[in-house]
Amino acid sequence: MSRRRKLQRHCQPAQAVRWSRLAASLQEGSTPSVKDFDYQIKYRRAFEAVLWNMPAVAIYSFRRAAIDNLGLKDNDIIAYSAPATPKLEAITANSTTPYISAFTDLRKGPVVLEVPAATPDGSVYGQVVDAWQFTIADVGPSGLDKGKGAKFLFTAPGYKGSVPKGYLHVASPNFRIAFAFRSVPAPGKTTADAYQYAQKLRMYYLSEAANPPKQRFVDPIDQRYPTLPFYDELHFEDMHAVMSVEPVNPQDKLMMGMLVSLGIERGKPFTPDETAKKAMRQAAIDAWFYMQSWYDHFPQEKLFWPDRHYASLLQADEHKRFTFVDQDRIDLINRAAEYFWCTYMPKVLTADPATQYLMAVADNNGNLLEAGKLYKLDVPAQMPVKQFWALTVYDRATNAFIYSESNRTTLSSYDVDKMTKNADGGVTIYVGPKAPAGLEANWIPTAGKRPLPAMRLYGPTEALNNKTFKLSDFQLA
């Protein structure tokens, strides 16, 4: 008997057992748990896709809204003439220093970004990000330019051209890139000075370097700028706008294959069928609820202080970066959670970051903050900052500013002299639908929204970084 025949005879009993078990299970009246496999598969793929592409869609939403709502074109620069109001509908934005932002498309050629040096007149700092919102260049005193100013040159994937002398070259892994900077008023200077300083920035194509065009600045201070991601079927239109243009990372090929069933394919029109449309809408809604639930059960081990209820806005991965790409996996859940409530992270989270943002995820008793209730926070006279602190309150549903009659979103160390002080020189700040009598100057309105307070600390000292300083929790007033 041949060796193959012997192996076949030896294997047959094991195979027979397996088949008999399968047959037995089917004979017991088993039925599929899914009645509509087409919908179920498309729903599951859509749900995972929302989590997978959270960073990319969030940054694309800024670009789409800038073009559709502000009339911006590539290389135009948004420069706010004052700190943002709730009309800037953006994820956990700041409203104490003016924003600067711009977008470009490297398919049209290399792009030059001229950044001025930090001087007694002012400085800018922030990030340039790719289409996945991963930082490719930190800018400012702690960035690639070291605050000395520079001409950055951004080039597209696969760029083979030369890089002229005098440029700080940054090769982008994607075609569409964006930046967001803050124009920080220098000591003794005003917001108006910061606005003027921001207008020293220049952005143009390298092909125009010999005679750069006049820089166009757009000030949307009185305009609605709706940058928030959609959480319905429109989410997938934005996803298609990104995925049909940008190069595909090797680790994303499986997901790109799944997206074909939803009508999303690189370089092709968006063509979802009716089942896909229904599945995508529900999946996007459910993904939003899932992210809300994730933060309602914030991991205890990730709290900034074990005995307080604050979490750093900057939740980096194990490598202190914000890509969440490891050697053998992508941490989709934690990546989605980070980009759900934050935009424009630094490339690397250092042990002594230039800014720290502490989000109140619960009150002093560990209860979630609720809409319609009045809370208070005691802020000591001596806060662990070299520059300033600012308490901003967001709508927990959107992570954006709250519209109210006053549109006040923030109280900061700049406002202390206008507030009622405590005996120790500190202040108590109230957060809720209505101010306590006589304490309107100490109040941030919530207008019926569930609050998400954020204590922003600019230039944190060692006492904060080594956590010897502790901020008290919010408590019911």
Among 363, 378, 365, which Cα is nearest to 452's? 363
> Can you give the three-state secondary structure of 24-86, one letter per residue?
HHHHCCCCCCCCCHHHHHHHHHHHHHHHHCHHHHHHHHHHHHHHHHHCCCCCCEEECCCCCCC
Report the pLDDT value the prediction gives residue 385, as an integer from 0 to 100. 96
Report the pLDDT value the prediction gives residue 26, as an integer from 0 to 100. 65
List Cβ neighbours of 464 (8 Å cut-off, separation of 6 or more): 356, 384, 385, 457
Report the pLDDT value the prediction gives residue 142, as an integer from 0 to 100. 87
Domains of the chain plus CATH, in order, are: 74-215 (2.60.40.1610), 298-476 (2.60.120.600)
Query: How far is the C-alpha of 295 from the C-alpha of 298, rounded, in Å?
Result: 5
User: Per-10-residue mean pLDDT for the chain, 477 residues long?
Assistant: 51 58 66 90 98 98 98 98 97 95 98 96 95 97 94 97 97 98 89 95 98 98 98 98 95 96 94 97 98 96 97 96 94 97 95 92 98 98 95 98 97 96 97 97 98 96 96 98
Report the pLDDT value the prediction gives residue 237, as an integer from 0 to 100. 98
